[in-house]
Amino acid sequence: MMRMMVAAKTDPAIDALSFDDALAELQRTVAELEAGGQPLEGAIALYERGVALQARCEKLLGDAELRVQQLVARAGGAIETRDVRPEDAADEPASGG
Q: For the chain, give every domain's residue range.
A: 2-76
Q: Kindly state the percentage of the chain with pLDDT values over 70.
A: 66
Q: Quick: pLDDT tens for 50-68.
A: 999 999 999 999 999 999 8
Name the residue among 23, 44, 20, 24 with its Cα closest to residue 33: 44
Query: Cα–Cα distance between 79 and 90 in angstroms, integer?
Result: 21
CATH assignment of 2-76, given 2.30.230, 1.10.3470, 1.10.10, 1.10.287? 1.10.287
Query: Cα–Cα distance between 90 and 97 in angstroms, integer?
Result: 17
What is the pTM for the complete model shown?
0.63
pLDDT exceeds cutoff 50 at 5 = no
64 φ, ψ (degrees, to nearest 5) = -65, -40
Band (84; pLDDT cuts 50, 70, 90): low
Query: Cα–Cα distance between 23 and 19 in angstroms, integer?
Result: 6
Q: Quick: pLDDT tens for 21-36.
A: 999 999 999 999 999 9
94 φ, ψ (degrees, to nearest 5) = -70, 135
